[in-house]
Structure 1
Amino acid sequence: MADVIRQQQLGGVRREFAPWTDPAAVPLIRFDAVTKRFGDVAAVDGVSLDIIEREFFALLGPSGCGKTTLMRLLAGFEMPDAGRVILGGEDISTVPPHLRPVNMMFQSYALFPHMSVAANIAFGPKMEGWPRERIEARVDQMLKLVQLDGLGGRKPHQLSGGQRQRVALARSLARSPKVLLLDEPMAALDKKLREETQFELMHIQYELGMTFIIVTHDQEEAMTVADRIGVMDKGRLVQVGTPAEIYEQPNSRYVADFIGDVTLFEGTLEGRDGDVAVVRERTSGALLRALAGTADAAPGATVWIAVRPEKARISPDPLPPDTPNVLAGEVFDIAYLGDLSIYKVRRPDGTFMKASQPNATRLVERPIGWDDKVWLSFAPEAGVLLTR
């Protein structure tokens, strides 16, 4: 019951926490036109980014996009070739790692196998010369925080994967760094444990009031834990926003396709009907309508409409003539995921569109099956107009 209450309280706080919308907010961390090259390859290419104190920020992107290099630049394991890394108003670009108020939790956890849990947690404070009484108090505090009371005497090999992950987290937090960096911290956990740990991580970050930066290629993980997400591609930040903004208002096909599932319709902008853009799809010639939003494109320009599967409707019967954005096809594949079913529909022009339906009742007989002819539709406000 206490966990439920704490989760509800956290949810309320997180919904109200948006200091990045305040023009007067002073960032705790600032990447100022930072570039890092390895040979001829720019792993980080002119990145500028502000992260606010107490923010849980996620760097998201595929392998090789530069997200880990950007975090290593903040940790001090790499030095920028150009630009500045600023923390708390101070340029730390040339400050060695051990002198930065930053700690990093590695993907492998990197626990000392010959040390007990308590000794692993105490290692950082001990290296800094803390008195023994203070170290012991801090170890006890960290064990309680990560819910490992009574396990301080065990060795890492005597713990489960989830428990080792908690020890690594406690060790990273023991020195009270201003910023905690997490490099794919839950990659080694199974799906169920990973989901549980994500919420625990959010609780710990909120309770400590610290700034967390997580690097991940898992979209769901970033959407779950982060206040804001920075999506990276080829060393550059392509969009920064809240999870809802990134998912509902992607600024490019890359972001729309990388975050979640999406169908992209390519076409030519015919014109506008008020706030609605009218697009003639290239492959079928169908006229599709979507909210224009802030997209800046002139008639005749190539544009794309992005539609999420949950925004599309699927029907085994023809739809009324006044229904917008109706597309016919045949069911090519069905994925039953328990809480919902995803239908992959092949259209006459050979393209595919996905639609999902919640399984609100127990599955007795599937109303739509393989090879069935169906009609898909989506409301104009469900589509996102993209120009790149």
Structure 2
Amino acid sequence: MRRALVSRDDHDTPMVRFDAVTRRFAEVTAVDALSLDIRAGEFFALLGPSGCGKTTLLRMLAGFERPDDGRILLAGQDIAAVPPWRRPVNMMFQSYALFPHLSVAGNVAFGLKQERLPRAEVESRVAAMLRLVRLDGLGSRKPHQLSGGQRQRVALARALAKHPKVLLLDEPLAALDKKLREETQFELMALQERLDTTFVVVTHDQEEAMTLADRIGVMNHGRLAQVGTPAEIYEQPRSRWIAGFIGDVNFFEGSVTAVDGDDVEMTDAAGRVFRAAGAPPVRTGDRITLAVRPEKISVATGSGAAEPINSVAGKVADIGYLGDISVYKVRLDDGAVIKAAVTNARRRIESSIDWDDTVRLSFPPDAAVVLTE
């Protein structure tokens, strides 16, 4: 579990500030007037689909790309004129980019030797980094003699050896298999907390971002669609696009028929009535969408008596057994398919729900998020 973020005064200087940064490539705007503050000691994730501009943003911070407009500040200092090798940041590449002719220790020491540090200090730092990533004793091996997970740790040790203020990670776990990737996520979290270094990770993997990050910046078409904690992004998405991009979600569309404070009643095209709590300001007649996560939906066998609100009946069209949960796709009379996720408290062979069964789905008003865009 991620630690709670330390409360910081709003006037504290952020470790990284992107101030209306724009980067263009010919006719394509990769990053579009983007502003973002990243706090010191934070594990921040840039999340988005391929081509959204997240890697370009990371490369500008590293100094490999220059912004066409705007400023990038590091600890309050404009770093536009600072070359990459002089910036107190280091980058761990997706491919790891290890030197095949150098040993593990040689790879970790490379940047330190470029800075002409004393030999004793280089050796001390290399030993400390290898202990930190649990590779002590493997310093004499070459990269080809290591597993994928070990090569990943060598790249991490090399990136950390120069004691950067900010560590940049570009899809750092993409080359690992699923189980090793999950294990390494928690290792990265523990390492970041131990060092209290600002980590900025780029990923297109929602689960990875949700696991690793204190906060997430969701990018789309070169802009930030939303910035928040994993819980805020998941539970309170700002738009239909964000709700659909982060995890599974069901959408119910209709018109507002009643408003009572921040409680909203909506009727869909089939005449079904839904109610949501904690809605943004809307008026009667407005078109809205309710977003409801599958795990918020209860499944009961039989069509049962129709509830007045937030209840629909249909037939089970598909079942996905995922071990800890079962996912049910239920087709309604109008052809709409609703997804519900149920925890497997009992063994699957004892499940009372099967294909083509008629079931009733329901959810409480506070499970629905009202979206107006």
- The alignment's TM-score, normalised by the length of structure 1, stands at 0.94
Q: Equivalents in 2 of 1:324, 1:268: separation in Å? A: 14
2:44 is matched with 57
Residue aligning to 1:304 = 289
15, 23, 39: which one pairs with 1:28?
15
Shift of 1:322: 4.9
- State the partner residue of 1:384: 369
Other structure's SS at 2:91 match:
strand
Q: What amino acid sits opposite 1:301 in the alignment?
A: D
Partners of 1:143 and 1:175 in 2: how far apart?
A: 13
1:122-172 CA-to-partner distances (Å, cap 9, x unmatched) read: 001010111000000001000000001100000000000000000000000
Query: Could you tell me how far 1:40 is from its partner in structure 2?
Result: 1.3
The separation in 1 between residues aligned to 2:348 and 2:306, in whole angstroms, is 31
Tell me which residue corresponds to 2:252. 265
Correspondence 1:83 to 2:61:
no
- Select the residue among 137, 145, 163 that pairs with 2:124: 137
Aligned residue pairs total 373
Q: Percent identity?
A: 62
Q: Deviations for 1:346-387, whole angstroms, at most 9, x for unmatched residues?
A: 111111111011111222233111111111001000000000
The residue type paired with residue 273 of structure 2 is L
> Which residue is equivalent to 2:106?
119
Q: How far is 1:321 from its partner?
A: 5.2
Paired residue secondary structure (1:364): helix
Greater CA deviation, 336-345 or 261-270?
261-270
State the match for 1:17 in structure 2: 5
Aligned equivalents of 1:27, 1:264: Cα separation in 2: 37
Q: CA deviation at 1:276?
A: 1.5
Alignment partner of 1:214 is 2:201: yes
Distance 2:181 2:314 in 1: 38
1:323–1:377 contact (8 Å) kept in structure 2: no
Tell me how far 1:269 sits from its aligned partner: 1.4
* Aligned 1:1-388 pairs, distance under 5 A: 11=1, 14-19=2-7, 22-282=9-269, 284-293=270-279, 295-319=280-304, 322=307, 324-388=309-373
Q: Which amino acid aligns with 1:209?
A: D
2: CA distance, partners of 1:93 / 1:281: 53
Instruction: Measure the CA separation in 1 of the matches of 2:6 and 2:249.
Output: 28
Secondary structure at 1:53's aligned position in 2? coil
Whole-angstrom distance in 2 between the partners of 1:323 and 1:368: 24
Q: CA deviation at 1:201?
A: 0.3
Q: Give per-residue Cα distances to partners, 1:188-228, cap 9 Å, x unaligned.
A: 10111000000000111111110000000000100001000
Cα deviation, 1:286-311, whole Å, max 9, x if unaligned, reads 11111143x23222111100000000
| Contact 1:36/1:44 (<8 A) preserved | yes
Cα distance per residue 1:102-129 (max 9 Å; x no partner): 1000000000001000000000101011
Q: What do the CA deviations read for 1:3-35 (whole angstroms, capped 9, x no partner)?
A: xxxxxxxx4xx4432446x32332111000001
Which string of whole-angstrom CA distances, capped at 9 and with x for unpartnered residues, describes residues 226-247 of structure 1? 0000000000001000000000
Aligned mates of 1:96, 1:322 — CA distance in 2 = 65
Specify the code of the residue in structure 1 equivalent to 2:345: A
Distance (Å, rounded) in 1 between the aligned partners of 2:348 and 2:288: 39
Structure 2 counterpart of 1:285, one-letter code: G
**One-letter code of the match for 1:60?**
L
Q: Is the 8 A contact 2:276 2:366 kept in 1?
A: yes
Segments of 4+ in structure 1 off by > 3 A? 318-324
Going from structure 1 to structure 2, the CA distance change for 1:134 and 1:323 (only over 3 Å counts) comes to farther
Q: What secondary structure, in the 3-state scheme, does the structure 1 residue paired with 2:153 have? A: helix
- Unmatched 5+ residue regions in structure 2? none
Structure 2 contact 259–283 (Cα < 8 Å) conserved: no
For 1:269 and 1:59, locate their aligned partners in 2 and report how far apart those are by CA, in whole Å.
35
Q: Which residue identity does 1:16 align to in structure 2? A: A
Q: Tell me which residue corresponds to 1:8.
A: none
Q: Which amino acid aligns with 1:290?
A: A
In structure 2, distance between residues paired with 1:342 and 1:363: 12
- Quick check: 2:306–2:312 contact (8 Å CA) kept in 1? no
C-alpha distance in 2 between matches for 1:337 and 1:352: 19
Query: Would the alpha carbon gap of residues 221 and 152 (structure 1) be closer, same or farther in structure 2, given more than 3 Å must change?
Result: same
Tell me how far apart the structure 2 counterparts of residues 313 and 182 of structure 1 sit (CA, whole Å): 39
Task: Using the TM superposition, give the Cα deviation of residue 281 of structure 1 relative to its aligned residue in structure 2, in angstroms.
Answer: 1.4
CA distance in 1, matches of 2:165, 2:356: 57
The one-letter code of the counterpart of 2:112 is P
